[in-house]
Structures are given as structure tokens and as C-alpha cells.
Amino acid sequence: MGYGLDFAMYKWFGLKTSPWFTIIFLILGIIAGFRELFRIAKKSSDGNDKKDT
């Protein structure tokens, strides 16, 4: 996504934004991945606690 935006900005407006959009979307993707990982881990641990009691 970021690479595509960098390419589009250069092609349409002549702005050399590379690698900024790539870096921004890479960081957003990593954050979203870890957030989902923690949500799955929390859901898994909540299910295990209910079965034990």
C-alpha cells in the first residue's frame, strides 16, 4: 500500500515521497499484527480460565 502511494504521488504530482509512505504503512501493519496477536491470545486465555472453574 505504501509503495503504491509513493509511486502514485511521484507519477501524478511529481513528488518524491519514497520511502515515507512505505515506512508509515509498514509500521501500521506491524502494530495491527501485534494488536491482533494480543487479542487472540487474550481470547484463548479467557476460554481456558472458564473451563478450569
pLDDT value at residue 49: 59
How far apart are alpha carbons 7 and 13 in whole angstroms?
A: 10
Integer angstrom CA distances of residue 8 from 15, 26, 38: 9, 17, 34
Residues of the chain with pLDDT under 70: 48-53
* 34 Ramachandran zone, left/alpha/beta (phi>0; psi -120 to 50): alpha
pLDDT value at residue 28: 96
pLDDT value at residue 2: 85
Check: CB of residue 24 under 8 Å from CB of residue 35. Answer: no
pLDDT value at residue 31: 98
3-state secondary structure of 19: coil
pLDDT value at residue 23: 92
pLDDT value at residue 52: 52
pTM of this structure? 0.68
